[in-house]
Structure formats: C-alpha cells, structure tokens
Amino acid sequence: MISVYYFGAISLVLIGLYAVLVKKNLLKILIGLDIMESGVNLLIVSIGYINGKSAPILSEGIGPSQAVDPIPQALVLTAIVIGVATTALALSAAIIVYEKYGTLNIEEIRRLRG
C-alpha cells in the first residue's frame, strides 16, 4: 500500500504538469508550475518523515533519536525560496508580455519564429 503522502505529492506534480501542458492562458500555466513545485516540496518533506517522531528541534525530552530526518527540511526551505523567486520573475515577464502583445493566450504570443 503506497503511503498517502507520496500519493498526494505525486498527484499534485501531475496536476501541475497537466495544467502546464494543456492550459492556454499564461497565468494558468504559471499556476500549474506553482502547483508542481508544491507537490515536489511535499514529496521532499514526506521522504524524511519517520512515523511517530517529532520535529527536529532538540529540547527537553526530545533527543536526536526522537526527531524526524532534518535534512529534507533544509532542502525544502531552499527549494521553496527558489520556487518563489522563479514565480516572481515569471509574473513580471508575463506583465511585460501583456503590455506588449495585449493578450495572455499562448497561441497568440508567437512573434519569435524562424
């Protein structure tokens, strides 16, 4: 039986991929990318989960042996920031595209071709 966390994370990735491939509106594609990134981040965190253990902050009563894997949490923190940076950049490019072309439909944004 596959864990519900893995199933959920992978489905989010697939939903995001579907939106990127199928949707015509640029903003919907960017939303799809964001969903995909969230799916990946959830997958990273769930890889490090150990059943029944607590957050990896060592304090009274919680020793190193009672904590979940702390490495994926460091990884996910980095990945979230990177995702946000990409989204911000993509949105600013989308604004320029809308100003210059007057549309967000990707089938009409085709000035570059050779």
Partner 1 sequence: MNPQYASLLIALPLLSAFFVPVIKAVSKKAVMPFLVLVTATQTGIAAWVFKEVYTTGKPIIVMAGAWRPPVGIDLYIGHFAALFAFIVAGISFFMAVFSWRAIKTEPVDKYAMLLMLLMLGATGMMATGDIFNLFVFMEITSITAYALTAYNKTGEAAEASLKYMILGGIGSSFFLIGLIMLYGATGTLNMAQLAQFAGSINPTVVQVGLGLIVFGLAVEAELFPLNAWAPDAYQAAPHPVTAMFSAFVVKAGLYAMARILYLMQSASGWHNVLKLLVIMATLTVFVAEFAALRQKDVKRMIAYSSISQVGFIALAFSLGSSIGVDAGVFHMMNHAIVKGLLFLTVGYVAVELGGSRIENFRGLGRRMPLTALAITIGSLAAIGVPMFNIFWSKVWIILAAVKANYAWAAAVVLTASVVEAVYYIRLIHTMWFSGGEGERIRENLAVGTIALFLVILILTIGVYPNYFWAVAQKAGADIFNVGQYIKNVPLMGVGS
Q: Which residues, numbered 9-38, are part of the site for partner 1 (CB under 8 A)?
A: 13, 16-17, 20, 26, 29-30, 33, 36-37
Site string for partner 1, 34-73 (x = CB under 8 A): --xx-xx--xx--x-----------------------xx-
Alpha-carbon distance of 107 to 26, in angstroms, equals 10
CB burial of 27-63 (b: ≥16 within 10 Å; e: otherwise) equals eebbbbbbbbbbbbbbbbbbebeeeeeeebeeeeeee
Q: Give whichever of 46 and 66 is closer to partner 1, judged by the CB atom.
A: 46
Give yes or no for residue 109 binding partner 1 (CB under 8 A): yes
